[in-house]
Amino acid sequence: MSRRAPKRVTVMVHTEDASASRSWRLPVWVFRAALGGAIVVALGLLAGVAFYVPILRAAGSVPLLRGRIAELEAENARVRELAMALDSAEARYGRVRELMGLPDSARGAADALEAAPLLTAPLLRVPAPSARTAGPGGPSAPARWPLDEQGYLTRGAIAGNGVDEEHAGIDIAVPVGQVVRAAGGGVVLLATPDPVYGLHVILQHPGDLRTMYGHLSRLTVAVGDTVPAGGVLGLSGNTGRSTAPHLHFEVRRGDRPQDPLTFVREDRH
């Protein structure tokens, strides 16, 4: 019994410029293995291209994304700055509302502003120091204007009534550094900083009367000093809870606030 010869595949290569061809005879299994390997390689190349192209696109978009992130961070920084400015403006508005004695609610404050007539602070004029009568040398009731310079009365005495916050004295707008004088002769009870009134002085006068001078920039007296009427207590300023340079001036009888304008009767207009 004769042995059967294995099947073979002939591969022939013929170039256009050559007169002869080259051929190879390969076993069928070798040809199939080579063909299968070529298919696997081709599929691998196609899969690599399919995965690599999105990676290239993503890599190309990275600089654009970084630029966009930088823009968003800059916009967020501006938003934070605007938010801080808004918070600061709201705080200043609240302090102005408090200074003007308006209701606490923003809507109530707006309604009060719309309903109220336009007001301007009156300018208070006082005689020059050389033209003012000298006060008594000893203790005396407050009757002297506490400033030498002109000033605007920005807020008067307001009794607390559940709507407006109590304001026990008057506020006189003057520049920082103006001389503040004792409205009457008395003894210094307090001369110290305070979170609300800043640097302030309280004088004890006869008849259970006291005067207070707030928001000063400098003190020139100490506790226990005896000060005559017109004596220098310090310099005006903007310390404590204050929205602008001014002098806060109070007169109290015991614990009850009085209207300072009913005590200080020097020539002013």
pLDDT digits (tens, 9 = 90+) for 105-140: 545 545 554 555 544 555 555 555 545 555 557 899
Region for 216 from its dihedrals, namely left if φ exceeds 0, alpha if ψ lies in -120 to 50, beta otherwise: beta
Considering the domain architecture, whether residues 53 and 181 belong to the same structural domain is answered as no
| Range from 112-126, 146-160, 218-232 carrying the lowest mean pLDDT | 112-126
Give the separation between CA 206 and CA 203, rounded to whole angstroms: 10
Give the separation between CA 183 and CA 264, rounded to whole angstroms: 8
For the chain, percent helix, then strand, then coil, each to nearest 5?
35, 25, 40
Give the separation between CA 267 and CA 144, rounded to whole angstroms: 10
Output the pLDDT for position 126.
56
> What's the chain's average pLDDT?
76
Give the separation between CA 200 and CA 207, rounded to whole angstroms: 22
Residue range 14-29, pLDDT digits in tens: 666 656 667 766 676 7
Considering the domain architecture, whether residues 142 and 185 belong to the same structural domain is answered as yes
Considering the domain architecture, whether residues 27 and 84 belong to the same structural domain is answered as yes
Considering the domain architecture, whether residues 158 and 37 belong to the same structural domain is answered as no
| Range from 86-100, 191-205, 236-250 carrying the lowest mean pLDDT | 86-100
140 inside domain: yes
Number of structural domains the chain divides into: 2
| Residue that wins the pLDDT comparison between 190 and 52 | 190
Considering the domain architecture, whether residues 3 and 126 belong to the same structural domain is answered as no
- The last residue of one of the domains, among 119, 153, 178, is 119
Considering the domain architecture, whether residues 175 and 225 belong to the same structural domain is answered as yes
Range of the domain at 48: 1-119
- The last residue of one of the domains, among 97, 119, 141, is 119
Tokens representing 188 are 């210094």
- The last residue of one of the domains, among 67, 96, 119, is 119
